[in-house]
Structure 1
């Protein structure tokens, strides 16, 4: 019997140097896409998939993330006094319940694998979801919800994948797959940034994972790789030699909010996906483009 997925890890210790000076005093994860911080969009996805415990791996100057997921009594009282019931209900609806959030520090920038390893004591001996906050997934269904459904059928480890142009595969972590089996694809190969012309497919890992706790043991032994960092993909490749690994395909839109173009396009896409904004926003865009 597979253990259920109850916990999700969010690595939020990055410096956000590509967005300076905006990120000089504000974490990049708190930059807003329409009217919600990037990290809130990702937590929303996890909540929609039934995640019960949210684990944030933070760094220096990230206290505002912790504040965001806590009660703001003065603001709540002000909204209540002014009769802004709708706004108050929205704020409270977004809050995780008492005891549902944990925060741990990654004291040194040693890579994604190290950030995941920093959450080991909070995750414990159970499988967990890992969501990279930079990567926003916009689709008819939450990406992690589909992954969790596949996990319930297959167990093991999973990654979400999406198609990228064949001539860009060297920029991504790429997987090779077997034919679909009940909503998931057994993974036959996993390569981090393969050399041009050597990729087993054009399916890139999209920043969503379900991993077994064995990954922590492998990360503890992992030697530093590219850039002197502990690479998660290296540990996953080792794990795939011991345990089953599957892929689920995400067919919606993926926006890399770690890049300026990706962040700007995310704002456009999420605005157009909002019923109350889509019409007026589209008209403004078309008018702006018509002016050249």
Structure 2
């Protein structure tokens, strides 16, 4: 919402809308109860209520792939560009502008589709769509997309997806955030009618590859980080990152340090333990 989004559509399975709305209602009540209705909890509860009012739902009758899920939202989107987010990703910006605002600004500037990307180490690219392209003249973090491969192997990436200027062993992977023109629905319509499937599903990546062929499609190296909640330890990592990005960073760091010390102490023989009154202080300038 801070990026200017006014309407939100969630693509969900049949009957899931009530469950989603109950989550919002439950969080509002828990916030007010846990924090005794203080100013912060009232503000957050109000923001959740505002978010819920903007929600609409599109039903995907059967789980037929990511591209099919996007296609199910075509009536909601209509003929306007739209912002597409993955529901199992958390995004934390490295600057004042939200990650989504960074992508939206570039899409407005160039009047085209834009994908957020992040340099990703070779051993992780099997999780993500990966792109190759050329830098736009005079811009260090914007690329013209030329090729997209869904979850490539390192050998495929080395042969087809090298981007000049990136560190060795790093590739540009999708950040889970796109601004897309309605052209993508024309392409997905064709794929649905022709039953064009990849690994048994109507995928989004082939549609994005065709989008890049038909019109300008840029990638921007976003100033921020993504946290994939759907992988092992992903939820834990996302929660810690969110806490460290908040106003209570110093207290969170101190508590994490004490927790680590406690667990390490439990592994030591009694003679080697540090006195329980020991405290650890971490300066905000030290890397976490």
TM-score, structure 1 length as denominator? 0.74
Say what the alpha-carbon RMSD is for the aligned residues: 2.6
Q: CA deviation at 1:237?
A: 0.8
Q: Which residue of 2 aligns with 1:212?
A: 181
Q: Which residue of 2 aligns with 1:33?
A: none
Secondary structure in 1 aligned to 2:20?
Answer: helix
Q: Which residue of 1 aligns with 2:242?
A: 270
Q: Verify: 1:117 aligned to 2:89, yes or no.
A: no
1:94-173 matched pairs, under 5 angstroms: 94-96=48-50, 100-141=54-95, 142-173=98-129
Inter-partner Cα distance in structure 2 for 1:70 and 1:290: 40
Number of residues of Structure 1 aligned to a counterpart in Structure 2: 242
Q: Verify: 1:185 aligned to 2:140, yes or no.
A: no
Inter-partner Cα distance in structure 2 for 1:195 and 1:84: 51
Q: Verify: 1:229 aligned to 2:201, yes or no.
A: yes
In structure 2, do the counterparts of structure 1 residues 287 and 231 end up closer, same or farther at CA, with 3 Å as the change threshold? same
Secondary structure in 1 aligned to 2:156?
Answer: coil
Q: Verify: 1:88 aligned to 2:42, yes or no.
A: yes
Answer whether contact 1:69 1:96 (CA < 8 A) is retained: no
Answer whether contact 2:131 2:174 (CA < 8 A) is retained: yes
Q: Which residue of 2 aligns with 1:281?
A: 255
Consecutive unaligned residues of structure 1, counting only runs of 5 or more, are 1-46
Inter-partner Cα distance in structure 2 for 1:188 and 1:54: 30
Consecutive unaligned residues of structure 2, counting only runs of 5 or more, are 163-170, 268-288
TM-score, structure 2 length as denominator? 0.75
Q: CA deviation at 1:70?
A: 6.0
Q: CA deviation at 1:278?
A: 2.0
